[in-house]
Amino acid sequence: MADPLAEVADDLYGVPPAGFIAARSARMKESGVDRALAARMKDLRKPAPAAWVVNLLVRERRDDLEQLLDVGGELRDAQTALDRGEITRLGRERRTLVAALTRTGGDLAAAAGQKVAPAVLDAVAATLDAGLADPEAAAAIRTGRLLRPLETIGFEPVDVAEAVAVPEAGSRAAEKRTAPPRPRPRAVDDADAELDRARTRADAVVARAEADARAAADELGDLEERVREARRALATAEREAEFLTQKRDAATEAHENARAALDTARRRRRDLG
Protein backbone atom coordinates (compact mmCIF):
# COMPACT_ATOMS: atom_id res chain seq x y z
CA MET A 1 0.00 0.00 0.00
CA ALA A 2 1.36 3.41 -0.99
CA ASP A 3 2.43 5.70 1.83
CA PRO A 4 -0.04 8.65 1.84
CA LEU A 5 2.82 10.95 2.84
CA ALA A 6 4.70 10.00 -0.35
CA GLU A 7 1.65 10.97 -2.40
CA VAL A 8 1.52 14.36 -0.68
CA ALA A 9 5.27 14.80 -1.16
CA ASP A 10 4.95 14.04 -4.87
CA ASP A 11 2.72 17.10 -5.15
CA LEU A 12 4.62 19.40 -2.80
CA TYR A 13 8.07 18.92 -4.29
CA GLY A 14 6.87 20.25 -7.61
CA VAL A 15 6.09 23.58 -5.90
CA PRO A 16 8.78 26.33 -6.08
CA PRO A 17 10.72 26.64 -2.81
CA ALA A 18 9.30 30.11 -2.12
CA GLY A 19 5.79 28.67 -1.99
CA PHE A 20 6.61 25.36 -0.35
CA ILE A 21 5.77 26.25 3.27
CA ALA A 22 2.42 27.80 2.32
CA ALA A 23 1.54 24.80 0.13
CA ARG A 24 2.48 22.40 2.92
CA SER A 25 0.37 24.30 5.45
CA ALA A 26 -2.59 24.27 3.06
CA ARG A 27 -2.32 20.50 2.63
CA MET A 28 -2.15 20.00 6.40
CA LYS A 29 -5.42 21.93 6.81
CA GLU A 30 -7.31 20.06 4.10
CA SER A 31 -10.38 18.18 5.20
CA GLY A 32 -9.89 14.47 5.62
CA VAL A 33 -6.24 14.77 6.73
CA ASP A 34 -5.83 13.04 10.08
CA ARG A 35 -3.57 14.39 12.81
CA ALA A 36 -0.92 11.72 12.36
CA LEU A 37 -0.51 12.45 8.67
CA ALA A 38 -0.56 16.21 9.29
CA ALA A 39 2.22 15.80 11.86
CA ARG A 40 4.31 13.86 9.34
CA MET A 41 3.66 16.53 6.71
CA LYS A 42 5.10 19.14 9.05
CA ASP A 43 8.44 17.29 8.94
CA LEU A 44 8.69 17.67 5.15
CA ARG A 45 11.55 20.09 4.52
CA LYS A 46 11.68 22.80 1.89
CA PRO A 47 13.92 21.76 -1.03
CA ALA A 48 17.05 23.65 -2.00
CA PRO A 49 16.64 25.61 -5.26
CA ALA A 50 18.88 23.24 -7.26
CA ALA A 51 17.02 20.21 -5.92
CA TRP A 52 13.70 21.79 -6.93
CA VAL A 53 14.98 22.39 -10.48
CA VAL A 54 15.98 18.72 -10.74
CA ASN A 55 12.55 17.73 -9.37
CA LEU A 56 11.05 19.94 -12.08
CA LEU A 57 13.02 18.07 -14.74
CA VAL A 58 11.67 14.78 -13.38
CA ARG A 59 8.13 16.06 -13.83
CA GLU A 60 8.48 17.99 -17.10
CA ARG A 61 11.32 16.26 -18.99
CA ARG A 62 11.23 12.69 -17.74
CA ASP A 63 12.20 11.09 -21.07
CA ASP A 64 15.24 13.35 -21.50
CA LEU A 65 16.31 12.68 -17.92
CA GLU A 66 15.99 8.92 -18.39
CA GLN A 67 18.12 9.14 -21.53
CA LEU A 68 20.83 10.86 -19.50
CA LEU A 69 20.69 8.37 -16.63
CA ASP A 70 20.85 5.48 -19.11
CA VAL A 71 24.13 6.93 -20.41
CA GLY A 72 25.42 6.73 -16.84
CA GLY A 73 24.93 2.95 -16.76
CA GLU A 74 26.60 2.55 -20.15
CA LEU A 75 29.50 4.73 -19.05
CA ARG A 76 30.06 2.71 -15.88
CA ASP A 77 30.12 -0.48 -17.96
CA ALA A 78 32.63 1.06 -20.38
CA GLN A 79 34.86 2.18 -17.50
CA THR A 80 34.75 -1.30 -15.99
CA ALA A 81 35.71 -2.79 -19.37
CA LEU A 82 38.35 -0.06 -19.92
CA ASP A 83 36.84 0.53 -23.37
CA ARG A 84 38.55 3.79 -24.30
CA GLY A 85 36.58 4.40 -27.47
CA GLU A 86 33.25 3.91 -25.73
CA ILE A 87 34.37 6.00 -22.75
CA THR A 88 35.26 8.83 -25.12
CA ARG A 89 31.96 8.64 -27.01
CA LEU A 90 29.82 8.38 -23.90
CA GLY A 91 31.81 11.07 -22.10
CA ARG A 92 31.07 13.46 -24.96
CA GLU A 93 27.40 12.47 -24.90
CA ARG A 94 27.29 12.90 -21.12
CA ARG A 95 28.62 16.46 -21.27
CA THR A 96 26.21 17.40 -24.06
CA LEU A 97 23.15 15.96 -22.28
CA VAL A 98 24.05 17.43 -18.87
CA ALA A 99 24.55 20.88 -20.38
CA ALA A 100 21.29 20.66 -22.36
CA LEU A 101 19.24 19.43 -19.39
CA THR A 102 20.72 22.07 -17.12
CA ARG A 103 19.71 24.81 -19.56
CA THR A 104 16.25 23.23 -19.84
CA GLY A 105 15.95 23.23 -16.05
CA GLY A 106 16.74 26.94 -15.97
CA ASP A 107 14.14 27.59 -18.69
CA LEU A 108 11.49 25.57 -16.82
CA ALA A 109 12.23 27.43 -13.61
CA ALA A 110 11.92 30.78 -15.42
CA ALA A 111 8.61 29.66 -16.94
CA ALA A 112 7.44 28.91 -13.40
CA GLY A 113 8.36 32.45 -12.38
CA GLN A 114 11.61 31.49 -10.62
CA LYS A 115 14.84 32.98 -11.94
CA VAL A 116 17.76 30.85 -10.75
CA ALA A 117 21.34 32.00 -10.26
CA PRO A 118 24.27 30.49 -12.20
CA ALA A 119 25.49 28.84 -8.99
CA VAL A 120 22.17 27.02 -8.72
CA LEU A 121 22.49 25.74 -12.29
CA ASP A 122 26.03 24.58 -11.48
CA ALA A 123 24.56 22.56 -8.60
CA VAL A 124 21.90 21.15 -10.97
CA ALA A 125 24.65 20.00 -13.36
CA ALA A 126 26.60 18.48 -10.44
CA THR A 127 23.48 16.60 -9.33
CA LEU A 128 22.91 15.21 -12.82
CA ASP A 129 26.56 14.13 -12.95
CA ALA A 130 26.10 12.38 -9.60
CA GLY A 131 23.13 10.49 -11.04
CA LEU A 132 25.34 9.36 -13.90
CA ALA A 133 28.04 8.12 -11.53
CA ASP A 134 25.99 6.26 -8.92
CA PRO A 135 22.82 4.14 -9.38
CA GLU A 136 21.51 5.09 -5.92
CA ALA A 137 21.93 8.77 -6.79
CA ALA A 138 20.03 8.12 -10.02
CA ALA A 139 17.27 6.45 -8.00
CA ALA A 140 17.15 9.44 -5.65
CA ILE A 141 16.79 11.81 -8.59
CA ARG A 142 14.02 9.71 -10.14
CA THR A 143 11.83 10.14 -7.04
CA GLY A 144 11.31 13.80 -7.90
CA ARG A 145 11.53 14.52 -4.17
CA LEU A 146 15.12 15.70 -3.80
CA LEU A 147 15.80 17.93 -0.82
CA ARG A 148 19.35 18.98 -1.65
CA PRO A 149 21.74 18.82 -4.61
CA LEU A 150 24.07 15.84 -4.96
CA GLU A 151 27.76 15.69 -5.76
CA THR A 152 30.13 12.99 -6.95
CA ILE A 153 33.74 12.83 -5.78
CA GLY A 154 35.87 10.47 -7.81
CA PHE A 155 34.50 6.93 -7.66
CA GLU A 156 33.28 7.27 -4.06
CA PRO A 157 29.56 6.48 -3.52
CA VAL A 158 27.46 9.63 -3.73
CA ASP A 159 26.20 10.85 -0.36
CA VAL A 160 22.41 10.51 -0.70
CA ALA A 161 21.62 10.16 3.02
CA GLU A 162 18.66 12.38 3.91
CA ALA A 163 18.64 13.75 0.35
CA VAL A 164 15.10 12.53 -0.46
CA ALA A 165 11.77 13.27 1.17
CA VAL A 166 9.97 10.07 2.20
CA PRO A 167 12.77 7.78 0.97
CA GLU A 168 12.25 4.12 0.18
CA ALA A 169 13.05 1.88 3.13
CA GLY A 170 16.43 0.19 2.82
CA SER A 171 17.87 2.71 0.36
CA ARG A 172 20.95 4.78 1.16
CA ALA A 173 18.70 7.83 0.99
CA ALA A 174 16.89 6.50 4.06
CA GLU A 175 20.10 6.50 6.10
CA LYS A 176 20.92 9.26 8.55
CA ARG A 177 23.76 11.62 7.76
CA THR A 178 26.59 11.23 10.20
CA ALA A 179 29.37 13.60 11.09
CA PRO A 180 32.81 12.54 9.88
CA PRO A 181 34.61 10.43 12.49
CA ARG A 182 37.08 12.20 14.70
CA PRO A 183 40.71 11.37 13.99
CA ARG A 184 42.20 8.75 16.26
CA PRO A 185 45.70 7.34 16.60
CA ARG A 186 46.29 4.37 14.33
CA ALA A 187 48.65 1.47 14.56
CA VAL A 188 51.27 1.22 11.84
CA ASP A 189 49.39 -1.60 10.15
CA ASP A 190 46.20 0.48 10.10
CA ALA A 191 48.10 3.42 8.63
CA ASP A 192 49.56 1.21 5.90
CA ALA A 193 46.14 -0.20 5.08
CA GLU A 194 44.64 3.28 4.98
CA LEU A 195 47.46 4.42 2.70
CA ASP A 196 46.73 1.52 0.34
CA ARG A 197 43.05 2.42 0.30
CA ALA A 198 43.87 6.07 -0.35
CA ARG A 199 46.15 5.07 -3.21
CA THR A 200 43.40 2.88 -4.68
CA ARG A 201 40.90 5.75 -4.47
CA ALA A 202 43.45 8.13 -5.98
CA ASP A 203 44.16 5.69 -8.82
CA ALA A 204 40.43 5.48 -9.56
CA VAL A 205 40.11 9.28 -9.59
CA VAL A 206 43.16 9.58 -11.86
CA ALA A 207 41.76 6.92 -14.22
CA ARG A 208 38.49 8.80 -14.58
CA ALA A 209 40.29 12.13 -14.99
CA GLU A 210 42.51 10.61 -17.68
CA ALA A 211 39.44 9.21 -19.47
CA ASP A 212 37.76 12.63 -19.34
CA ALA A 213 40.95 14.30 -20.57
CA ARG A 214 41.21 11.86 -23.47
CA ALA A 215 37.56 12.42 -24.34
CA ALA A 216 38.05 16.20 -24.23
CA ALA A 217 41.22 15.92 -26.36
CA ASP A 218 39.41 13.78 -28.93
CA GLU A 219 36.52 16.22 -29.01
CA LEU A 220 38.93 19.14 -29.42
CA GLY A 221 40.65 17.30 -32.27
CA ASP A 222 37.30 16.71 -33.97
CA LEU A 223 36.37 20.38 -33.65
CA GLU A 224 39.74 21.54 -34.97
CA GLU A 225 39.36 19.25 -37.99
CA ARG A 226 35.87 20.63 -38.62
CA VAL A 227 37.29 24.17 -38.45
CA ARG A 228 39.98 23.24 -40.99
CA GLU A 229 37.35 21.69 -43.27
CA ALA A 230 35.17 24.79 -42.95
CA ARG A 231 38.11 27.03 -43.82
CA ARG A 232 38.95 24.88 -46.85
CA ALA A 233 35.31 25.00 -47.95
CA LEU A 234 35.29 28.78 -47.45
CA ALA A 235 38.47 29.19 -49.54
CA THR A 236 36.95 27.03 -52.30
CA ALA A 237 33.71 29.01 -52.17
CA GLU A 238 35.62 32.31 -52.36
CA ARG A 239 37.57 31.11 -55.42
CA GLU A 240 34.35 29.94 -57.05
CA ALA A 241 32.68 33.25 -56.22
CA GLU A 242 35.59 35.14 -57.81
CA PHE A 243 35.40 32.95 -60.93
CA LEU A 244 31.64 33.44 -61.21
CA THR A 245 32.06 37.18 -60.73
CA GLN A 246 34.51 37.27 -63.63
CA LYS A 247 32.10 35.25 -65.78
CA ARG A 248 29.26 37.60 -64.82
CA ASP A 249 31.34 40.65 -65.73
CA ALA A 250 32.27 39.06 -69.07
CA ALA A 251 28.63 38.15 -69.73
CA THR A 252 27.56 41.69 -68.83
CA GLU A 253 30.09 43.16 -71.26
CA ALA A 254 29.01 40.73 -74.00
CA HIS A 255 25.37 41.65 -73.36
CA GLU A 256 26.14 45.35 -73.58
CA ASN A 257 28.09 44.82 -76.82
CA ALA A 258 25.25 42.76 -78.27
CA ARG A 259 22.72 45.47 -77.38
CA ALA A 260 24.93 48.11 -78.97
CA ALA A 261 25.25 45.99 -82.12
CA LEU A 262 21.47 45.49 -82.15
CA ASP A 263 20.85 49.23 -81.84
CA THR A 264 23.31 49.91 -84.69
CA ALA A 265 21.64 47.30 -86.90
CA ARG A 266 18.21 48.78 -86.24
CA ARG A 267 19.41 52.29 -87.12
CA ARG A 268 20.91 51.06 -90.40
CA ARG A 269 17.68 49.30 -91.30
CA ARG A 270 15.71 52.49 -90.62
CA ASP A 271 18.18 54.45 -92.76
CA LEU A 272 17.65 51.98 -95.63
CA GLY A 273 13.94 52.66 -95.44
The CA distances from residue 27 to 13, 52, 143, 145, in Å, are 13, 19, 20, 17
The answer to the question of residue 45 being in a domain is yes
Residue 218 clears pLDDT 80, i.e. is over it: no
The answer to the question of residue 202 being in a domain is no
Tens of pLDDT, residues 9-24: 999 999 999 999 999 9
Going by pLDDT thresholds of 50, 70 and 90, the confidence category of residue 153 is: confident
The answer to the question of residue 30 being in a domain is yes
The answer to the question of residue 190 being in a domain is no
pTM flag (> 0.95): no
Identity of the highest mean pLDDT range in 139-148, 166-175, 216-225, 227-236 = 139-148
The answer to the question of residue 163 being in a domain is yes
Domain of residue 56: give its range.
4-174
Residue 206 clears pLDDT 70, i.e. is over it: no
Count of structural domains, the chain: 1
Going by pLDDT thresholds of 50, 70 and 90, the confidence category of residue 146 is: very high
The answer to the question of residue 187 being in a domain is no
Residue 240 clears pLDDT 90, i.e. is over it: no
Point out which residues pair with 164 in neighbouring strands. 146
The answer to the question of residue 218 being in a domain is no
The answer to the question of residue 231 being in a domain is no
The CA distances from residue 251 to 15, 196, 238, in Å, are 69, 81, 20
